[in-house]
Amino acid sequence: MNKAELLVKKLQVPFHKSTTLSHWDPDDVMGFDKQQAKERLAKNLKRLVELQFVMYAENKRALLVVLQAMDAGGKDGTIRNVFGQLNPQGCRVTPFKSPSSLELSHDFLWRIHNNVPCAGEIGVFNRSHYEDVLIVRVKDLVPKSVWSKRYTQINEFERTLSENGVHIVKLFLHISKDEQRKRLQTRLDDPTRHWKIDPADFEERKSWDSYIKAYEDAFSQCNTKYAPWYIIPANHKWFRNVAISEIVVKTLEQLDMKFPDPICDISKIKID
């Protein structure tokens, strides 16, 4: 097993086991230094562009990347630094904010299913259906009798996607509470980031422990072979980026995608 394969294996949440986030070090860089990570990321991004081209041409399968994190966890930075070079014709990023009145009038998965990537596409979710067992639970927006059933509903939904050619990778960007404080302070200190400030982020910080517990339950109850969870140590942004690129590239390579055959006999085509 090479270094990249070992990295991916270490980051994957074990199946059929309870998960305790305190056992995962958000400062871990797993033997990489910053220069090594920079070089590896560049190689992975080049490979990712190649794999996206084959997926788009093959037009048989899709990849759904789910990004979850605490506030200031690095979802936007991940999208920019890992997926920013992809062809926008075949890559769609969907942010999930508070649901609209229309979305609330449907079941909680309705707005999610409407944004699942099509065959040939890579879709990236900035937050996702897991908010309905996270913030909904922590803020007591619906009774436990409602949200507790959603783990099974999520598993069934993800199985349906998988059986219809949508390959799912779920990534939790794991930062420490102290790192979150530093990042939120940076937003306060930098006028160019003031637009990102939401008072709710600072209020949500008070519920840190409740969110940790909610995430741990989500990992334990919704971690399957067809939709695995990975916990990404994300205090160091440079390691976060290379780790995620390794997982996405490995996932796509395992699909063994092929360019489709030409629709005609190429040897008979002559250009006048």
pLDDT tens for 46-83 read 999 999 999 999 999 999 999 999 999 999 999 999 99
Report how far residue 75's alpha carbon sits from residue 126's, in angstroms, rounded to the nearest whole number.
Answer: 7
- Annotated domain spans of the chain: 3-14+26-255
In this prediction, residue 154 carries a pLDDT of 98
pLDDT lower than 70: segments of the chain: 1
Read off the DSSP letter of residue 70.
S
Q: Which two tokens stand for residue 112?
A: 């999610």
**Quick one: fold of 3-14+26-255?**
Rossmann fold (3.40.50)
Residues β-bridged to residue 64: 123, 168
Three-state DSSP class for residue 173: strand
Residue 15, amino acid = F
Total count of residues recorded for the chain: 272
In this prediction, residue 3 carries a pLDDT of 76
Rounded to the nearest angstrom, the gap between the alpha carbon of residue 9 and the centroid of all alpha carbons in its chain is 16
In this prediction, residue 111 carries a pLDDT of 98
Report how far residue 127's alpha carbon sits from residue 221's, in angstroms, rounded to the nearest whole number.
Answer: 18
